[in-house]
Structure 1
Amino acid sequence: MTDTLNRRDLLKGTALTVGAAALVRTALTPAPAVAQGALPAGTIHSFAKGEVTFHTYVSPAQAVNVTSHIVEFADQLMVVDATMLPPTAQEVSSLIVATGKPVSQAYISHEHPDHWGGAATIEGVTFATLPDIRSAIATEAAQGNFPEPVNVLNGPDLPIGLSEIGGVPVEFRHYTNTEAPHLIAAAFPDQKVIIVQDLVYNGVFFAPGVDRANWIATLEALRDDPVAETLLVGHGLPATRGELDTAIAYIRVMDEAMQAESPDAAAAQLRAAFPGYGGEFLLSLIPEYWN
């Protein structure tokens, strides 16, 4: 596979390691994870660049298509986020086990519970994050709406900057005041892939964010970043650089909508502008951000 992926390439998938093949199929007919109870199965979308394979687990629509990413190196894994619910987190655990490789690094990208609510279900994995993110998670967890994520609250701090995993350069970046107060992204310079999480949603309504002007400026800078050929996002399927323009356009519309006469009017404006989008639940968060 060449280093440049278009949207069709991402949906086709590529050859996978033997350990993952049982769960991960070509994403044109994406592999269902193991459905649990009344919640439908999520799907797994995978592609390889060089010696690194990227697996994106996408939760079902009922769980707002939130993602977790498993980055597979020659002899180890990196895990990004834990999804929101125990059933979806169990599917992430199953994918980890299917690779047959140990997790050497795992982290929670930001404080919003749809990304860490399932952490307690992923046994044997300790998640690093930043102190500010961990503090916000502790506050949210104390409300009792999700199983206490001890494997996050007792986890280490994630060093920001250039690192190396399995001989592959990985740059951990810290963005502030975008969709969340603090957000970690992981860039792979050699593969030209960046795990942006909730800096970008793909086909799902966005949360209103902290500072939409700064959020847009952050995405504009990424448009010229060589690493951003392929984006692994926080909600929805993997995407390409062009999705940054779509996200910028969405945030601009959302910023205008947030000036409407009411949260309901703002939600209606977003539905009208983006009729094909999912994640209706996320529009219900607008009152929490209303000035």
Structure 2
Amino acid sequence: METPMISRRNLLKGTALTLGAASLLRTALTPSAALAQSGDMPPGTVHRFSKGGVGFHTYVSPAMTVNVTSHIVEFDDQLLLVDATFMPPTAQEVSALIASTGKPVGQAIISHEHPDHWGGAPMIDGVTFNTLPEIREGLRAEAEGGQFGIPTNVLDGGDIAPGMTEMSGVPVEFRHYRDNEAPHMLVTVLPEQQVAIVQDLVYNGIFFAPGVNRTNWITTLEEMRDDPAFETLLVGHGLPTTRGELDTAIAYIKVLDDAMTNAATPDDAIAQIKAAYPGYSGDFLLSLIAEYWSR
């Protein structure tokens, strides 16, 4: 794979950003071409591969924004774009990646309600994002009540209908999963290439957000684990991976749920998770545990 250089209302209830990004957010809600090179935010990375005549480009934002991703699927004559990242500098890098292909965006989607995946949408000129109606309404409430501006190119977009379709003659399936990491998740599957863009159903090497229903989240991943439609996973935080990461995610969510159920305090829960996953990054996501604490 190639790797070229290229907030807060209730802590956003599952948005992924570091404390450094939260500080940067206060001054970074307008485009700044120099910001990514100024030292305030390092550049992201791009990871590429091809399967079955289709190209896949995954943009991974820098660690200060918890390695949130945007994916570009490259067909013969057009692109499928999944998510916009969070900050203006990272969204500008996604725009540059789109331009580098020399192909138009035929379809752009937002995978779920959390602002780290749609906050950069206004920076991606000329692209209108489609999504599930349920996601749009959740996103609208978040945008109107938050600090991120109104992403008109998402709110004015069209509806995605779950099921099979085609792009450039290649089968593409849109799936709607409910009540997992987010209230709604739009997953994109390319069965001929055996690639699934699962976004925040799976994190790779990054601490998970607490989720809205961890029991159902585990059940969903167990069902996906038995699904023969994909071997490669493009995730919402971190590098592309394989279906084996589903087992890792299931185990992680069980540890997360046990810690949030049985620990005496949020800090105790955080300590348990860090002890179980010492190699993971994205400490800001662990701070969200206090916002979900119900005892």
Give the structure-2-normalised TM-score: 0.88
Which residue does the alignment assign to 1:193? 195
Deviation at 1:228, TM superposition (A): 2.5
Deviation at 1:246, TM superposition (A): 0.4
2:193–2:230 Cα contact (<8 Å) kept: no
- Measured in 2, the distance between the counterparts of 1:61 and 1:264 equals 22
Any idea what SS the aligned residue of 1:270 has? Answer: helix
Structure 1, gaps ≥5 residues long: 1-12, 14-25
Deviation at 1:285, TM superposition (A): 1.0
Counterpart of 1:192, as a letter, is Q
Instruction: Kindly indicate whether structure 1 or structure 2 has the higher relative contact order, using CA contacts under 8 Å at least 6 residues apart.
Output: 2
Which residue does the alignment assign to 1:285? 288
Counterparts of 1:151-230 in structure 2, within 5 Å, are 151-230=153-232
Any idea what SS the aligned residue of 2:280 has? Answer: coil
Which residue does the alignment assign to 2:89? 87
Q: Is residue 264 from structure 1 mapped to residue 267 from structure 2 by the alignment?
A: yes
Structure 2, gaps ≥5 residues long: 7-33
- Measured in 1, the distance between the counterparts of 2:248 and 2:230 equals 14
**Which whole-Å deviations, capped at 9, do the CAs of 1:184-239 have from their partners, x for residues lacking one?**
00001100000000000000000011111111111111111112200000000000
Q: Is residue 276 from structure 1 mapped to residue 249 from structure 2 by the alignment?
A: no
Give the structure-1-normalised TM-score: 0.89
- Measured in 1, the distance between the counterparts of 2:132 and 2:54 equals 25
- Measured in 1, the distance between the counterparts of 2:238 and 2:202 equals 9
Which residue does the alignment assign to 2:20? none
Which residue does the alignment assign to 1:236? 238
Fraction of identical pairs, as percent: 66
- Measured in 2, the distance between the counterparts of 1:87 and 1:143 equals 23
Counterpart of 1:228, as a letter, is F
Any idea what SS the aligned residue of 1:115 has? Answer: helix
- Measured in 2, the distance between the counterparts of 1:142 and 1:262 equals 32
Deviation at 1:36, TM superposition (A): 3.8
2:122–2:151 Cα contact (<8 Å) kept: yes
- The equivalent position to 1:40 in structure 2, one of 27, 37, 42, is 42
RMSD, matched Cα: 1.1
1:36–1:87 Cα contact (<8 Å) kept: no
**Which whole-Å deviations, capped at 9, do the CAs of 1:128-176 have from their partners, x for residues lacking one?**
0111111111111113411321100111011110000011000000000
Any idea what SS the aligned residue of 2:95 has? Answer: helix
| Aligned structure 1 segments of 4 or more residues deviating by more than 2 angstroms | 34-37
1:185–1:194 Cα contact (<8 Å) kept: yes
